[in-house]
Amino acid sequence: MRGEVLHYDESQGFGFITGADGNRYTFRREDLRGQAILANGAAVEFLSAHGQARDVFLLAVAQTAAPAAGAKAAPAGNETAGAAPQARHFGRSSEPAEPTDLWGYFWRAVTQNYFNFGGRARRKEYWSYCLFWVVSLLIIGGIGIFTDAQMGNFDTDVSAAVTVGLCGTFLLATFLPGLGMTVRRLHDIGLSGWLCLVILLPTIGSLAILVFALIPTQARENRWGPVPAGVRV
């Protein structure tokens, strides 16, 4: 039977559910199944037995409105776990959708996924990173050349010192996210990330990585995770 959580006290491990039949059922923490974190208004499914709810499964948590200013606070001990309204599905909290635009992929690679060598990266994500990486390098190189020209460094023993310094810093800063992107791209086509070491082979290594980067995404879940967001299966 389906129902809605009327009240649940996490500290006491006790609560009430209003069933689809209009009756009220009691349940305890031991009756919960899965990693359920209940809040008032959560949609659940359960088995009824003499006014008791058994095998309670969380389906979703309804969004609740924030209390109006000046409203009377709930008594201590009656606060429910997960008071912050957050949509959930079978015990898993919803997360912001992954970016599927070119800039979003690049920005996530150099921030959220800076040290990420797990999971998968679709072709669009990989080439989006490459595109903005090249654009960024050209901009930084241009700034360095302009600065060196204004300082007259091209006519001294420290020729292009600023350009070399800026570009070198950029290459070092993006080494890890670029390596992680390559590893995740290999995962996406069902290959081990250790294959990125073929890049150490002169000429043929770079060509191999290029071929790997052009192979379409595996349209199924593999050992490294589910199909990336945005891929049509």
The verdict on 159 and 108 lying in the same domain is yes
Three-point CA angle 82, 83, 84, nearest 5°: 90
For residue 225 the two structure tokens come to: 């995770």
The residue out of 63, 93, 123 marking a domain boundary is 93
Same domain (yes/no): 42, 133:
no
Domain boundary among 60, 93, 126: 93
Q: pLDDT tens-digit profile of 163-177? A: 999 999 999 999 999
The CATH number for 20's domain is 2.40.50.140
- Kindly state whether residues 39 and 112 are assigned to the same domain: no
Most confident of 15-24, 41-50, 158-167, 195-204: 195-204
Q: Are residue 49 and residue 151 in the same domain, yes or no?
A: no
Query: Quick check: is 196 in a domain?
Result: yes
Whether residues 131 and 190 share a domain: the answer is yes
In a domain, 13, yes or no: yes
Provide the total of helices (H) and of strands (E) in the chain, helices listed first. 5, 8
Statement to judge: residues 35 and 133 lie in one domain: no
- Count of domains for the chain: 2
- The rounded percent of the chain whose pLDDT value lies above 90 is 43
DSSP 29: G
Asked whether residue 202 carries a pLDDT value surpassing 70, the answer given is yes
DSSP SS3 for 25:
strand
Same domain, 46 and 148: no
Residue at 89 is within a domain: yes
Are 80 and 124 in a shared domain?
no
Q: What is the mean pLDDT of residues 92-110?
A: 72
pLDDT given for residue 19 in this prediction: 81
pLDDT value, residue 52:
80
Task: For residue 220, tell me if it sits in a domain.
Answer: no
What values do phi and psi take at 77, rounded to 5? Answer: 90, -10
- More reliable by pLDDT, 200 or 231: 200
pLDDT of residue 37: 67
Q: Could you list the residue range(s) of the whole structural domain that residue 28 is in?
A: 2-93
Same domain, 27 and 131: no
Say yes or no: 33 and 136 in one domain: no
pTM of the model: 0.58
Is residue 226 assigned to a domain?
no
**pLDDT for the residue 154:** 76
Chosen domain end from 93, 119, 146:
93
Q: Check whether residue 144 and residue 41 sit in a common domain.
A: no
pLDDT at residue 157 greater than cutoff 60: yes
Determine, yes or no, domain membership for 147: yes
Whether residue 56 is predicted with pLDDT greater than 90 in this model: the reply is no
219 located within any domain: no
- Region 58-81: mean pLDDT is 46
Residues constituting the chain: 233
Across 95-120, average pLDDT = 84
Most confident of 7-21, 28-42, 90-104, 187-201: 187-201
Q: What is the mean pLDDT of the chain?
A: 79
Residue 230 lies in a domain: no
Q: Which residues contact 20 (CB under 8 A, 6 or more apart)?
A: 1, 2, 3
Pair 122, 196 in one domain: yes
